[in-house]
A and B are shown apart, each in its own frame.
Chain A
């Protein structure tokens, strides 16, 4: 397969996954902001969300107030924001178009119709009370695309590249969603473990579509420690860092098999997966959750570079 095609497949999936996760991040920020009583409609929670998405600076260049309408517009529709849902969907479609011969009709139709529908949406029609259901529809279209990949794409190298991109992006985003909690300040330190704290953690769980699954694993109330454990280490949880890195390793293993030779980036992925399975929550809280997540995001980026190099992406 052409190195450029592999890169396009990798990034196509990443952008679809990112679009979904931008909606998820916005969902956390939005739900948290509903409990705030800020002056002039500005929201600390939404600000935290922008920080976790590394989008605070770009946002502030364009807007003075961090309120729901402007943040939602920025995250969903602003094409100056390279990570807005609209930018992501556009890029995903462009990647897909470049590899029309490597993807299935079902995949193309799913992406193409998502793009056509999204590009026709009038922002003012969805930024009010319709926001939650609109975010839901963004997640749904990502689910549909993933379904098309799983249900129709041949299990050749192209599949492995597409899946790898998706998992790498998801790991990045789960780390960022968790990190929102770092930026959200509690009014007083004594409130750690209190109602507000737990409510914030719950919303993070919800953003990962994991609030019900949590109960089945922990048989317990929502607790910060467990929630972080769930989203970082539990391999049963398909949005956890451990699950994503294990899946990346498996996909790189699949490439080794197809190509009949091991690649150097595979080792790097294995190291990362091992890092995640060793240590556990004690290590995370010793190091500090935020520091741990920041370190993970950097390692994840490095892995992307290693993959690009091994397989001649350009």
Chain B
């Protein structure tokens, strides 16, 4: 008996292959028994050798791990992608307008469309940004939108990541590995390229350089350093763009301008793609004890002498509590109906909704408003009685601190699991660049929950990745 309640990306309910997967399905059928195993091993060798690792905090013996990679790609049809693309574009446009409004006249609050206390009392709101005009009026330049699918036409946005979305290097390296492992499949299918992402990132960064930037803008990627879990990605992106990879100690501010310390003395810096959180970028403005950032950076930003990517304070737009208002945000600024759906979310502050939530925890997902990476969440169907009791207390103590959603029937994708091919749940993080125009890379990072039945795809929770193939017409 097959499971019928999950949408299978490859198979129709009657077991026939869905059209976008036809060629891949035939190819899989034609593979000898050991072939996929061999491909998996080859892939692991490639990733290990390249050192595509992420650091795991609090684990001594293996501080660098590989993210498991699945050799069976996820396929998205051209028309499916076009819809996603439109929906994503609409969303990031509205969210950037929302950010401008919040840090200027706050029309949306005055119109009563979003509660004031949700914004101004929010840790992610950055009062220092009030009245500041970021170059070209853009707050979030690099965005990852997490999308899940529950049916042929049912796509839901799970989360918007407007601060420092990671994973783009995996999207690129997964493709690189696949082109190496199964070149013959690329001959048979027309897969949209993802390789120009770094070039587009460069163009995006250049297009938002400060107006007073002299000559060609000097671009840098600012990393917390080699012990950061995403350091590989930081160096990878700097490398692919031809930008300088800097740590805080490499930069300094003088006369309101940012410079880097080079072998030839100071050199002006114009655009900083910072992978350091708001609180740590400038000890003079934010956390005083932080050694990661650059003293005076925010003043240089405020003076319009440097562009920060993404702007401080963008986090307010991807706050889990604000998320529930995104459909209203889209309607308020664009006057359009949202193309992509939000996951319905219960409001625990309301007595009746909270009562329902507490009664039905085993069917629901509870997320801490400020949690990330799969920490601080309860997945009802996979939880123990004890865990549910804990969360029940937590929710009653601080109803505002949690969002609660129904467990979504995440679609599954055929995945190689050692013994053979089995369906595993997936999500998708496409990457968007916002500069002189909006550029969406066709594809993205597909994350897959490798454990049978698991709905948690985060790499820190044992999830893996697979390449995402957007087909061209």
Is the interface on chain A under 10, 10 to 19, 20 to 34, or 35 or more residues?
20 to 34
The one of A2, A101, A105, A157 in contact with B250, judged by C-beta atoms closer than 8 angstroms, is: A2
In the complex formed, the residue of B with least CB distance to A263 is: B263
Q: Known interface pairs A94-B226, A108-B51, A157-B263. Does A4 touch B250 (Cβ–Cβ under 8 Å)? A: yes
Identify the stretch in B148-156, B239-247, B361-369 within 8 Å (CB) of chain A at 4 or more residues.
Answer: B239-247
Contact between A101 and B226 (Cβ–Cβ < 8 Å)? no
The distance from the CB of B233 to the nearest CB of chain A, in whole angstroms, is 11
Mask, B237-274, CB within 8 Å of A = 1, is: 01100001111011000000000111111000000000
Q: Is the interface of A mostly helix, strand, loop or mixed?
A: helix
A312 vs B226: C-alpha distance when bound (angstroms): 21
Given A100-B245, A112-B51, A312-B265 contact (CB < 8 Å): yes
Contact of A2 among B225, B231, B235, B260 (CB under 8 A): B260
Give the docked Cα–Cα distance between A278 and B51 (Å): 48
Of the four ranges (under 10, 10 to 19, 20 to 34, 35 or more), the interface on chain B belongs to 20 to 34
Task: Indicate whether A312 sits within 8 Å of B50 (C-beta atoms), given known contacts A2-B244, A101-B239, A101-B244.
Answer: no
Given known pairs A100-B245, A101-B245, the reply for A2 and B262 (CB within 8 Å) is: yes
**List of B residues within 8 angstroms of A112 by Cβ:** 49, 51
Nearest residue, chain A, Cβ from B251: A2
Q: Which residues of B contact A4 (CB under 8 A)?
A: 247, 249-250, 261
Residues of B close to A79: CB separation below 8 A: none
Please report the number of residue pairs spanning A and B whose Cβ atoms sit closer than 8 angstroms: 56
Contact between B261 and A3, CB atoms less than 8 A apart: yes
Tell whether A98 is near chain B: CB-to-CB under 8 Å. yes
* A3 vs B263: C-alpha distance when bound (angstroms): 5
Closest residue of B by beta carbon distance from A100 = B235
Whole-angstrom CA separation of A6 from B50 in the bound complex:
23
Residues of A within 8 A of B263 (CB): 1-3, 6, 157, 161, 259, 311-312
Q: Is the CB of B49 within 8 A of A101?
A: no
Q: Which residues of B contact A199 (CB under 8 A)?
A: none
Bound complex: CA A54 to CA B365 (Å): 62
A236 within 8 A of B: no
A4 and B262 alpha carbons, distance in the complex (Å): 8
Q: Could you tell me the distance in whole angstroms from the C-beta of A254 to the nearest C-beta in chain B?
A: 13
Closest to B263 in A: A311
Nearest-CB residue, chain B, relative to A97: B226
Question: Which residues of B are found within 8 Å of A6, using beta-carbon distances?
Answer: 263
Taking the closest CB of chain A, its distance from the CB of B201, in whole angstroms, is: 14
- Minimum distance in angstroms from A100 CB to a CB of chain B: 4
Q: Does A314 belong to the interface (CB within 8 Å)?
A: yes
- In the bound assembly, the distance between CA atoms of A4 and B225 in angstroms comes to 12
Q: Which residue of A lies closest to B267 (CB)?
A: A2
| Interface bits A86-124 vs B (CB < 8 Å: 1, else 0) | 000000001001101100010011001100100000000
Interface pair B262/A101, CB less than 8 Å apart: no
Write out the residue numbers on chain A whose beta carbons fall within 8 Å of the beta carbon of B239.
100-101
Docked complex Cα distance between A101 and B232 (Å): 10
| Chain B proximity mask over A245-277: 1 for CB below 8 Å, otherwise 0 | 000000000000001000000000000000000
17 contacts between A and B (CB under 8 A): A2-B263, A3-B261, A6-B263, A97-B235, A98-B225, A98-B226, A100-B239, A101-B235, A101-B238, A101-B244, A101-B245, A108-B51, A109-B50, A109-B51, A112-B51, A259-B263, A311-B263
8 extra interchain contacts, Cβ-Cβ under 8 A, other than A2-B246, A314-B249? A97-B235, A98-B226, A101-B244, A109-B50, A112-B51, A259-B264, A312-B261, A312-B265
Identify the 10 closest CB pairs spanning chains A and B, nearest first.
A100-B235, A311-B263, A101-B239, A101-B245, A101-B238, A6-B263, A97-B226, A3-B261, A112-B51, A2-B250
Chain A residues within 8 Å of B, Cβ to Cβ: 1-4, 6, 94, 97-98, 100-101, 105, 108-109, 112-113, 116, 157, 161, 259, 311-312, 314
